[in-house]
Amino acid sequence: MSVKMSDNNRKKVVIIGSGLVGSVCACFMAKRGYDVEVFERRDDIRAAVEVKGRSINLALSHRGRKALNSIGIEDDVLESAIPMKGRLLHSAKGELKRVVYDPTFNQCIFSVGRNYLNKKLIQATTNFPNVKIYFNHLLTRSNFEEGSVTLINLKTCEEFKRNADLIIGADGAYSKLRLAMQQTPQFQYSQQYIEHGYLELSIRPQMGHKMEPNNLHIWPRGKFMMIALPNQDSSWTVTIFMPFEKFENLSTPKKVLKFFQDTFPDSVDLIGENDIVDTFLKNRPSELVSIKCSPYHIGGKFLIIGDAAHAMVPFYGQGMNAGFEDCSLLDDLLEKNRNDIAKTIQEYSKVRVKNAHAICDLAMYNYVEMRDLVNRIGFQWRKSIDHLLFRSFPNKWIPLYNSVSFSTMEYNQCVCNRKWQDRVIYKIVMTIGIIIGTIVIIFFKSFIYK
Ligand code: FAD
């Protein structure tokens, strides 16, 4: 891949973490002609043995695709991704109902394996001669005055410092770089663990063909839900999201099976009784955290991106997509500011914080939509009205889900859009109500006076 060698005196970038976002960011920075060093605490996952059926898959949508396109690997990733055109809702009686994401333009989201994607992204960095990845290297300290980070080689236990023009923390929700930022004045930070956890199950390939393909399956049950996303090998990754308290109550094989037979009856044969019981009794549900902070930069060279800056609950399928969009934005701003890093990261915080906070809030809201609202008539009516208006005014009336998943409209703007749309619909409903009310009154009056 050709490297853009602009007049930037070969700036040096250090990226912490070669997860999904760190790897994409490395490609962007390398493409700009920067010398990039990535430090990752884990071993090289390309050499690790994959545990079949256990790796979570992720929904990739427009924002993520755009970033992958910019670094030249969108087509490659989509080749192994599975399109999901809508939600397929499973009722407690096993009846199915389809809710297409975009009946107007047929846009869809894509299911991709996390491990597969991460390996692909790390591999993509090797297309750039100016990227070096160091595995088994842990960030231990950050010195903002000195502009340096301290790392430890986990194989040799050797500790060393690195300076760079730009130091980017892409080290995930429990970011060590963000932890250091939290100790600086005026840094705002909040985290919220929701009272629901998740457990992953799997539908094996032999049974997977019984599931209707190209959909995100949801078993919405009001206060909790189960979802399934397709994998390349015809298996499905099934995730149950539920209050921790409810998980704790399911403490014996009999209780677990009864719960599944009563609540998700059509899934029992697909997953298999033994696998359900085993998963419930041998695993603890994982936590879900939402993190907001501000700003995303310190001084003129430290920046956090991806989950390090804005971990969110997974219900909008936007965590990774937002992280990839961070990389696109950083690149755009560097271009606009002619590689002035200090100016860029300051502007980055200004633009990104409000949008990242907006998607964190939307992700919380979408849990209620997925597990409960989808079953309600009012919600279904609203979706139909939204799509009718979208078809008539595609540039003016963009429904919330479409603006989040199929556009690059700023997340904050998506929320504002939805608010004015709510107001318009409220006014239309009120006007129709008043007209009908007036007609009824006139009709009765004329009837009485006759
Ligand atoms: P991570 O993926 O956490 O990567 C961080 C990397 O940094 C890791 O490789 C880690 O080893 C390394 N690291 C950490 N600390 C250090 C250190 N001190 N030194 C060196 N290296 C370090 N998002 C979507 O867009 N769509 C979805 O459908 C979706 N589904 C999800 C489902 C679930 C159940 C969950 C939990 C999340 C989901 N997400 C989804 C969110 C998505 O997984 C995250 O947003 C994404 O992984 C963030 O990538 P990241 O690179 O910022 O962080």
Give the separation between CA 171 and CA 306, rounded to whole angstroms.
8
What is the whole-number distance in angstroms between the Cα of residue 253 and the centre of ligand 1?
A: 32
Give the separation between CA 51 and CA 231, rounded to whole angstroms.
13
Among 58, 101, 125, which residue has the most ligand 1 atoms within 8 Å of its CB, making it the best to mutate?
58
CA 350, 354, 359, 361 dihedral sign is: positive
Among 307, 313, 324, 330, which residue has the most ligand 1 atoms within 8 Å of its CB, making it the best to mutate?
307
**Is residue 29 included in any domain, yes or no?**
yes
CATH of the domain at 306: 3.50.50.60
Same domain, yes or no, for 113 and 58?
Answer: yes
Taking CA atoms only, the protein residue closest to ligand 1 atom 18 is 139
What is the whole-number distance in angstroms between the Cα of residue 149 and the centre of ligand 1?
A: 21
Taking CA atoms only, the protein residue closest to ligand 1 atom 35 is 314
Give residue-wise pLDDT tens across range 298-311. 999 999 999 999 99
Same domain, yes or no, for 294 and 275?
Answer: no
DSSP assignments along 333-382, one per residue: HHHHTTT-HHHHHHHHHHHHHHHHHHHHHHHHHHHHHHHTGGG-HHHHHH
What is the whole-number distance in angstroms between the Cα of residue 329 and the centre of ligand 1?
A: 19
Same domain, yes or no, for 51 and 130?
Answer: yes
Q: Is the CB of 363 under 6 A from ligand 1?
A: no
Same domain, yes or no, for 60 and 176?
Answer: yes
Q: Is the CB of 42 under 6 A from ligand 1?
A: yes
Contacts of 292 by beta carbon, 8 Å cutoff, 6+ apart:
188, 189, 190, 191, 310, 356, 357, 360
Residues 133, 122: contact at Cβ < 8 Å? yes
Taking CA atoms only, the protein residue closest to ligand 1 atom 34 is 314
Q: What is the average per-residue pLDDT within 176-189?
A: 97
Q: How far apart are the first and last CA of the chain?
A: 86
What is the whole-number distance in angstroms between the Cα of residue 175 and the centre of ligand 1?
A: 10
**Is residue 103 included in any domain, yes or no?**
no
What is the whole-number distance in angstroms between the Cα of residue 317 and the centre of ligand 1?
A: 12
* Domain closes at, from 282, 303, 321: 282
Q: Is the CB of 257 under 6 A from ligand 1?
A: no
Place of tokens 């409220």: 426
**Confidence at residue 231, expressed as pLDDT on a 0 to 100 scale:** 95
Q: What is the average per-residue pLDDT within 42-70?
A: 85
Q: Is the CB of 116 under 6 A from ligand 1?
A: no
Same domain, yes or no, for 62 and 164?
Answer: yes
Taking CA atoms only, the protein residue closest to ligand 1 atom 33 is 314
pLDDT over threshold 80, residue 3: no
Work out how many domains the chain is built from and give that number. Answer: 3
Same domain, yes or no, for 227 and 121?
Answer: no
Same domain, yes or no, for 25 and 116?
Answer: yes
**Confidence at residue 444, expressed as pLDDT on a 0 to 100 scale:** 85
Same domain, yes or no, for 294 and 259?
Answer: no
pLDDT over threshold 70, residue 314: yes
* Domain closes at, from 368, 398, 424: 368
DSSP assignment letter at 11: -
Give residue-wise pLDDT tens across range 109-150. 999 999 999 999 999 999 999 999 999 999 999 999 999 999
**Is residue 178 included in any domain, yes or no?**
yes
Residues 41, 138: contact at Cβ < 8 Å? yes
**Confidence at residue 352, expressed as pLDDT on a 0 to 100 scale:** 98
**Is residue 225 included in any domain, yes or no?**
yes
**Confidence at residue 51, expressed as pLDDT on a 0 to 100 scale:** 52
pLDDT band at 6 (very low <50, low <70, confident <90, very high): low
Closest listed residue to residue 363, CA positions, set 449, 263, 292 = 292
Q: Is the CB of 100 under 6 A from ligand 1?
A: no
- Ligand 1: nearest atom to the Cα of 200: 34
Q: Is the CB of 21 under 6 A from ligand 1?
A: yes
**Is residue 242 included in any domain, yes or no?**
yes
**Is residue 120 included in any domain, yes or no?**
yes
What is the whole-number distance in angstroms between the Cα of residue 173 and the centre of ligand 1?
A: 7
Residues 364, 64: contact at Cβ < 8 Å? no
Domain extent, residue 420, equals 377-439
Give residue-wise pLDDT tens across range 371-389. 888 888 888 889 899 999 9
Q: Compute the mean pLDDT over every residue in the chain, rounded to the nearest whole number.
A: 94
Same domain, yes or no, for 177 and 320?
Answer: yes
pLDDT over threshold 80, residue 8: no
Q: What is the average per-residue pLDDT within 406-425?
A: 96
Taking CA atoms only, the protein residue closest to ligand 1 atom 47 is 320
Place of tokens 């995930």: 172
Among 21, 60, 216, 325, which residue has the most ligand 1 atoms within 8 Å of its CB, making it the best to mutate?
21
Ranked by mean pLDDT, the top range of 103-107, 132-136, 437-441 is 132-136
Q: Is the CB of 20 under 6 A from ligand 1?
A: yes
CA 21, 25, 26, 27 dihedral sign is: positive
* Domain closes at, from 282, 310, 333: 282
Q: Is the CB of 320 under 6 A from ligand 1?
A: yes
Tell me the pairing of strands 57-60 and 82-84. Answer: unpaired
Q: Is the CB of 141 under 6 A from ligand 1?
A: no
